[in-house]
């Protein structure tokens, strides 16, 4: 379980780190494109007039891609215009003389006209040259301005690129710092969770150990109580056994005394009845048939009486079970001195009148073990049942009744069932087996 929790916590931390690194991995750096320099045609600004045919001007030098910054050129002063020659005053028109044209004058007039035409051509050439120089100067100024503008744009682009690079680097540094801080926080959180988990595990282990110690202490106390209870039961059982042994010894002594008295009485009766032995024998045989029938009637009456007693015993046992608070009430009849209850008037007189002996210490030909009732054993019920059984001359049990109940029906029924299966040594009279009544105690003890 702890290993599974550790794997789960590690998977959560790695998943969080991957989730934080994923945006940085997928982030694409913004590429700042270098501005393209577009050549500008100077002719689109000022339309140049058709130049006067002049010698081919020298080609201008090509612009370098990134010229070094130069100081702004001082504009050249415009050349002073040449003074125009004052026009010669034209002579006032004269009336055409009526004279023959002088060839010299005609030549002079032609020369003068040629000079005037040459002056006009020179003036026009000077104006064209001045205009050409003005255009060249303006073109140079435009070129210089374009170079300055291109340089300014280049510098602006470089500054923008530098700022973008610095911003990107700062952003990356901030993201890296934030990622490191996040990793530190996650590590601190993981460490805190680990310490909490270890503390929780330690507390759980301490609680489990305390619980185990408490359970062990309870178990030892329970064992001590069980040992004390077992010792108490053993002492009670030994005391009961001692009392029962004393009772049995007293019963044996009383039986022996009765047997001796009966033997002496029989001896006296035998001496007195030697003369009437044959007559009594005949009478006795006749009575045996009568007693057999009477015994059958008595057995039926005893069966009815046994059923009545059992019903009464069950009612008394239920009343006692409702009144008592512990199992001592169930064992009370076993601890008290067992006193023999007098046999019902319908049984004892019949036995005395018929001469059927009652044996309290019989001999056995076959005696099976007593089966302890499961419910009584589980509840810890103990007791002693005194059973009376009619035994035929073969030693078989023909009828059984409860002479003294133990106070528990299951113990009484188990005792009756066990005694029915026993085989006794039949009583004898004059060397011949006769029917008899045996009275035996059946003990139920847990220890």
Please tell me the predicted confidence (pLDDT) of residue 336. Answer: 41
pLDDT in tens, the chain (447 residues): 677 788 888 889 988 888 888 777 776 555 556 656 656 555 555 555 555 555 555 555 545 555 555 555 555 555 555 555 555 555 555 555 556 667 888 888 899 999 999 999 999 999 999 999 999 999 999 999 999 999 999 999 999 999 999 999 999 999 999 999 999 999 999 999 999 999 999 999 999 999 999 999 999 999 999 999 999 999 898 888 889 888 888 888 888 888 888 878 877 787 776 767 656 765 665 576 666 667 767 777 777 787 777 777 777 777 677 666 655 655 554 434 343 443 333 333 334 444 688 898 999 998 988 999 999 999 989 999 999 999 999 999 999 999 999 999 999 999 999 999 999 999 988 888 899 999 999 999 987
Q: Is residue 384 part of a domain?
A: yes
Q: Is residue 60 part of a domain?
A: no
Please tell me the predicted confidence (pLDDT) of residue 353. Answer: 41
Long-range contacts of 36-41 (CB under 8 A, 24+ apart): 37/65, 37/150, 37/153, 40/146
Please tell me the predicted confidence (pLDDT) of residue 430. Answer: 86
CA distances from 337 to 171, 239, 258 (A): 105, 12, 22
Q: What pTM was estimated for this model as a whole?
A: 0.26
Provide the CATH number for the domain around residue 426.
3.30.2420.10
Pairing state of beta strands 383-391 and 423-424? unpaired
Q: 123: number of CA atoms within 13 Å, CB side?
A: 11
Please tell me the predicted confidence (pLDDT) of residue 187. Answer: 92
Cα separation, 68 vs 151, whole angstroms: 9
C-alpha R_g of the chain: 75
- Which residues have C-beta within 8 Å of that of residue 399, sequence separation ≥ 6? 299, 302, 303, 389, 390
Q: Is residue 289 part of a domain?
A: no
CA distances from 364 to 42, 395, 429 (A): 150, 9, 18
- Which residues have C-beta within 8 Å of that of residue 276, sequence separation ≥ 6? none
Please tell me the predicted confidence (pLDDT) of residue 349. Answer: 33
Structural element, H or E, at residue 434: strand 432-434
Q: Is residue 176 part of a domain?
A: no
Domain range for 375 is 362-444
Cα separation, 370 vs 407, whole angstroms: 17
Q: What's the maximum distance between 2 C-alpha atoms anywhere in the chain?
A: 248
Cα separation, 143 vs 136, whole angstroms: 10
Query: In the chain, how many domains are there?
Result: 1
Q: Is residue 372 part of a domain?
A: yes
Q: Is the dihedral of CA 229, 444, 378, 316 positive or negative?
A: negative
Q: Is residue 69 part of a domain?
A: no
Cα separation, 7 vs 358, whole angstroms: 86
Q: Is residue 399 part of a domain?
A: yes
Q: Is residue 273 part of a domain?
A: no
């Amino acid at each position: 379980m702890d290993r599974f929790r550790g794997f789960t916590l590690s998977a959560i931390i790695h998943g969080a780190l991957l989730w934080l690194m994923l945006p940085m991995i997928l982030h694409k750096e913004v590429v700042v494109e270098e501005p393209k320099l577009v050549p500008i045609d100077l002719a689109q600004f000022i339309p140049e007039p058709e130049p006067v045919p002049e010698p081919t001007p020298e080609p201008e030098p090509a612009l370098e891609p990134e010229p070094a910054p130069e100081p702004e050129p001082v504009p050249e002063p415009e050349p002073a215009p040449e003074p125009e020659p004052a026009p010669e005053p034209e002579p006032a028109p004269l009336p055409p003389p009526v004279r023959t044209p002088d060839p010299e004058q005609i030549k002079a007039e032609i020369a003068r006209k040629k000079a005037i035409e040459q002056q006009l051509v020179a003036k026009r050439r000077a104006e064209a040259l001045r205009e050409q120089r003005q255009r060249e100067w303006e073109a140079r100024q435009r070129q210089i301005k374009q170079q300055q503008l291109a340089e300014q744009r280049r510098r602006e682009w470089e500054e923008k690129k530098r700022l973008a690079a610095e911003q990107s680097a700062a952003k990356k540094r901030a993201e890296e710092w934030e990622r490191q801080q996040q990793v530190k926080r996650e590590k601190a959180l993981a460490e805190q969770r680990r310490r909490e988990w270890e503390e929780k595990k330690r507390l759980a282990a301490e609680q489990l150990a305390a619980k185990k110690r408490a359970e062990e202490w309870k178990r030892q106390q329970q064992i001590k109580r069980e040992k004390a209870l077992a010792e108490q039961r053993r002492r009670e059982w030994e005391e009961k056994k001692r009392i029962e042994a004393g009772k049995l010894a007293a019963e044996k002594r009383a039986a022996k005394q009765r047997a001796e008295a009966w033997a002496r009485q029989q001896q006296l009766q035998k001496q007195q009845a030697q003369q009437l032995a044959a007559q009594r024998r005949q009478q006795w045989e006749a009575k045996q048939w009568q007693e057999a029938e009477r015994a059958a009637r008595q057995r039926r009456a005893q069966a009815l009486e046994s059923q009545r007693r059992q019903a009464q015993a069950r009612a008394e046992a239920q009343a006692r079970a409702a009144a008592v608070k512990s199992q001592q009430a169930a064992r009370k009849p076993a601890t008290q001195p067992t006193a023999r209850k007098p046999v019902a008037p319908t049984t004892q007189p019949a036995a005395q009148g018929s001469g059927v002996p009652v044996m309290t210490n019989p001999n056995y030909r076959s005696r099976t073990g007593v089966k302890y009732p499961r419910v009584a054993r589980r509840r810890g019920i103990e007791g002693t049942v005194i059973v009376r059984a009619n035994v035929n001359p073969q030693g078989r049990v023909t009828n059984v009744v409860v002479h003294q109940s133990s106070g528990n029906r299951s113990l009484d029924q188990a005792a009756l069932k066990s005694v029915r299966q026993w085989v006794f040594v039949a009583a004898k009279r004059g060397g011949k087996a006769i029917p008899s009544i045996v009275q035996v105690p059946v003990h139920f003890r847990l220890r």
